[in-house]
Structure 1
Amino acid sequence: MSSKRKLIMPTPEEDAAINRGIAADPDTYELGAEEFKQLKKRGGRPRLASPKVAVTIRYDKAVIDAFKAGGPGWQTRMNEVLKKAVARKHA
């Protein structure tokens, strides 16, 4: 599947003007090699000790609707209910 958007690259003159603007900005600077290496090391969120597992599962529509009715965070709430049910069974 290809995007129908066309990427328009800046002309050399536009690119030079952009770089002049960056150089003149007192709130930014070009990173050194060591700083750039440090940025590359910290990609994304820290790893969880117990990461979640992606699955495909089917629930009754009424169950999903009930959790979604609580607003954003419904999947987290559903996970908490399931964890409590598992804990009760193994207690």
Structure 2
Amino acid sequence: MSQTRKKADLDNPEWTKADFAKAGRPDAVLPAEVLAAFPRTTRGAQKAPTKVPLSIRLSPEVVAHYKATGPGWQTRIDEDLKKAAGL
């Protein structure tokens, strides 16, 4: 048991490699009405990829500033970087 966990959760034990190996995809093991309660939350692949995924480190102040502007903050960072680069 992890030191960060205070006590074992007997109703929800940690999965082992064997548990992961025998697990099935949700759409293969759950009824349709259960699946309908959990709408898809990922976007999926882009039809025509236009951006390159990467990891970048920014100061907390910059991230907080852009996140405070609401959804689309990563796009706004991209737009501001394009302007700064003269693109």
The bucket for the TM-score relative to the shorter chain is 0.3 to 0.5
Q: Which has the higher contact order (CA 8 A, sep 6+)?
A: 2
Which structure's CA Rg is the greater one? 1
TM-score when normalising by structure 1: 0.46
Structure having the higher helix fraction is 1
TM-score when normalising by structure 2: 0.48
